[in-house]
Amino acid sequence: MRSALFVLLLLTMGACRRKEAPRIEQVGPAELTHQRSCEWLDWENNSCRADSVLRAGEVRFEQVTFVEANPSATRALVGQLDGAGSLVDLRSGDVLLRFPPHTSKREWCDDSRLVVSSPLADFGSSQGLLGTSLEVVWFDASAAVQRAVLHRGLRAVPRLACGPGGSLAFIVSGTRGEAPIELYRWSPEEGSKLLETWAGEIENGDSSDLDVSWSPLGQPEWCARVRPYSVNRCVPPVRPVAR
């Protein structure tokens, strides 16, 4: 009888979890609570997990995996364990936009522009996540949410930079023998516009070595960083000499 009770006690303890003291992180007006727990009989802590809950206003977001807030911490891209991503007002808890699964933050350009990236398709265990969908979300003068697609395709976007007047510059990687590396500029008025293609291959490197910035005149500039990066040298593309 005692042995049966002992086994029952062990099973009951195995089904329960011991919890550590919660850790609370302030994200602007919202609170992100992290609660770590482990199975009672797991002395090596192999079963431990951290559950995170975001409380914004009166709204709770369960199983939060990340919170990417804007500089003033009034809005944030919130990811959850099931892959869902939402743009959340941290003051009220209102969901302003919902994104495709596996969406991640690429850049907050000040408080009003967010660039996000998501895979184009999920082929499961055979090939995994493929392609890139790059999207910008911004708020107009009335605080209404606007969104636009910057790029969608199998090629990646290794670099982007926030620019003046709500504009963006980004690089689309090439595919050997098929598509060149390209530099684009996007603005709310004109959309995405191809500015330049990279002539030939990048010597001793690839598109991940590229960098993009903005000139004092408000024009995108790009160059290829020379390896090793410690030499601090960036080479512009080869351009035809004007005659």
The residue ranges of the chain whose pLDDT is under 70 are 1-17, 42-45, 123-129, 176-177, 241-243
Determine the Cα–Cα distance for residues 214 and 86; give it in Å rounded to an integer: 30
Token pair of 125, please? 């265990």
Q: How far is CA 7 from CA 18, 43, 101, 236, in A?
A: 19, 18, 43, 71
Determine the Cα–Cα distance for residues 80 and 82; give it in Å rounded to an integer: 6
What contacts 85, CB < 8 A, 6 or more positions away? 77, 78, 79, 98, 99, 100, 101, 102, 103, 104, 116, 118
Task: Kindly report the three-state secondary structure assignment for every residue of the chain.
Answer: CHHHHHHHHHHHHHHCEEECCCEEEEECCEEEEEEEEEECCCCCCCCCEEEEEEEECCEEECCEEEEEECCCCCEEEEEECCCCEEEEECCCCCEEEEECCCCEEEEEECCCEEEEEECCEECHHHHCEECEEEEEEEECCCCCEEEEEEEEECCCCCEEEECHHHCEEEEECCECCCECCEEEEEECCCEEEEEEECCCCCCCCCHHHEEEEECCCCCEEEEEECCCHHHCCEECCCCCCCC
Q: What is the pLDDT of residues 69-119, one digit of tens each?
A: 999 999 999 999 999 999 999 999 999 999 998 999 999 999 989 999 999
pLDDT given at position 44:
63
pLDDT given at position 199:
85
Q: Which of 194, 146, 147, 154 is nearest to 173 (CA)?
A: 154
Residue 152's CB is within 10 A of a number of other CB atoms, namely 13
pLDDT given at position 13:
47
Q: How far is CA 109 from CA 46, 112, 162, in A?
A: 40, 7, 6
Please answer whether residues 192 and 153 qualify as being in contact, where contact means their C-beta atoms are separated by less than 8 angstroms.
Answer: no
pLDDT given at position 14:
46
pLDDT given at position 214:
96
